[in-house]
Structure 1
Amino acid sequence: MMKAPVFAVVGHPNKGKSSIVATLSQNDAIAIALEPGTTRKHQAYPLAVDGKTLYTLVDTPGFQRPRRVLEWLEAHSVSASDRAETVEAFVVQHRQDNGFVDECELLQPLIEGAGIIYVVDGSVPYSTQHEAEMTILRWTGRPSLALINSIGEDDYSDTWARALGQFFQVVRTFDAVRAPFEQHLSLLRAFGQLEPDWEQPLDSATAFLSAQRRQRRT
């Protein structure tokens, strides 16, 4: 039996991660926190139909000390071939360390096989401080997609797109609050193309969501 895909929604604190989880998991009950850093533990939200999970979104805490984490990883990695194992070693070693609680919570779903949805705020200027986060995520070796979710009025999404394209397989602009339904389906299809094992379950998910929407409209 094919396993339902799991996607971890990761990024900086308060960049709209929870609203993206709510939108893509069709779960209106998820609290959309206004103050940063309110997600302290990773939390799974499955999209289930008739008792069958089509896919699961995992909400995670935001990065707090990515540069320190990356320094540790670089000091403990021998070559590019051991990077995923080095990330796992970091989580094992620092799980009980108060200084890296959020990073360990964020990375845990990834070392367990989740895909990456990295969320940034396109209304804030791009800065190199995010590159440590993006590098850490690339080290996990997991299929990855970046979403530019503009929260404010300004628009720096072009600069973001160029930078994100260096680190992620797919980059999309996505308004978690106002995105048209077709954009949701497009994201799921994009993920299906990143990982062959996910194509069939995500095709089923998009077919179900489309049918459900037609039914509601009727």
Structure 2
Amino acid sequence: MLVNLGDIIADRADHANTTVWVADVLRSRIAAGDLLPGTKLSEQQLAASLQVSRNTLREAFTMLSIESVVTRYPNRGVFVASPDADAVREIYRVRRMLEPAAVLWGPELDLPRLDTVIAEARDAKSRGSVADMAAANQDFHQGLVAMSGSVQLQQMMGRVLAEMRLVFHTMSAQPDFHTRYVEENAALVELLRAGSRSEAADVLRGYLDAAEAELLGHLGA
């Protein structure tokens, strides 16, 4: 899914802090898969396309570097990060804290939103589109954290998912990694529909443990 820069520029008026806005734009483009791991981020091109100064762009790079979404190399520039095993472990530490808690206690259960994501994931699976399955999986987990009703937790999850998208690129040759989770996500929704939140949270913990182990195994190989 390519990001429309015209729409991005139009959204800028809603942000009081331009640096934060630039970081949000780049994070969204990374999460959408438009900027792949290892991609060099050109200051000149990005500053021109986003209509911001290079200083503002560098401040945004600093924010994203702290989040491990980009990596700075002296005398070489800024690149989209390529997460390693330690990064995967940290991502899943955060996810195990955020997602099961939102499922267990979140006050804003939005089943129609989750149903829509499941339908999109099944459609992607039927078409054999790994990229669209990965995108639907991202949307599903963002939807789980949205149950918390907390803007800050959703923003944190957005940062985690941007880094997670980079990890997914390491699994591009393993389509079954995404295929399996289409129906596992659907099963979680049915538990929530039945009011079985505690069971759903337990299943989700096991799901995250298994996904982490598979990713680490792939990186180790």
TM-score (norm 1): 0.28
Higher radius of gyration, 1 or 2: 2
Higher fraction of strand: 1
